[in-house]
Amino acid sequence: MLKSNIKYIPLAARMRPRNLKEFVGQNHLVGKDMPIRKLIESDNLVSMIFWGPPGSGKTTLSRIIANETSSNFIKISAVDSGKDDLKKIVKTSKDKSQFQDTLFVKNKTIEQERTILFIDEIHRFNKAQQDYLLPFVEDGTIILIGATTENPSFEVISPLLSRCRVFVLKQHTLKDIKNIILNALKDKRGLGSLNIDIRNDALEYLAQYSNGDPRTALNALELAVKLTS
């Protein structure tokens, strides 16, 4: 995207964390010596289910995992994707891996690239669709990261669930939301070039209003700036 068009990208999209350093919250998962950070640092990924409320960072964390481990990232939604889509993704993943296993550049073998398949609202997949994923999750053809707002014990079939680690993401705290707002006001990707100051009462109101969802907070902040500038 051209730099001249950046201003048309919503603030929440511009401020999406790109790495663990920028990611706010979920310290029980990504803090020092916590499970997801250790999986990333050891480069030893497993298939996972992220269970948490909207805005808790399920998609963002999945992208960060892919970025930090140099994995191919494919995102689909269970609402508008079906078995045929899964077949294409599995075929692409297999073909890519087989090609890379035999490719040499300057006498060096290129390492196999993993495919992380992120399925948003995985609880919307029916049993047949979930069954189809089983062998490819089991043999490592894909690393599955499913996101759900529903209890996966009730919505994901047992065989698939047993092949995944379930991680519970929590709603962002008021402190998290305040930090996210302040970062957006300072960062050049966000509103940093505008030199905006925010009163403590306004910061508190935005944080309370967001109900733990950073996207809601940043959308409200962006609107407030547009209406007062």
- What are the start-end ranges of the H helices in the chain? 11-14, 27-30, 35-41, 58-68, 83-101, 127-138, 152-155, 158-161, 174-186, 200-209, 214-228
- Report the alpha-carbon distance of residue 213 to residue 206 in Å, rounded: 11
pTM (2 decimals)?
0.86
In this structure, are 113 and 217 located in the same domain? Answer: no
Q: How confident is the model at residue 102 (pLDDT cuts 50, 70, 90)?
A: very low
Q: How confident is the model at residue 92 (pLDDT cuts 50, 70, 90)?
A: confident
In a domain, 207, yes or no: yes
**Residues 57, 63, 14: CA angle, nearest 5 degrees:** 70
Structure confidence by residue, pLDDT tens digits, 120-159: 999 999 999 999 999 999 999 999 999 999 999 999 999 9
In this structure, are 189 and 158 located in the same domain? Answer: no
In this structure, are 148 and 197 located in the same domain? Answer: no
In this structure, are 64 and 177 located in the same domain? Answer: no
Structure confidence by residue, pLDDT tens digits, 177-203: 999 999 999 999 999 999 999 999 999
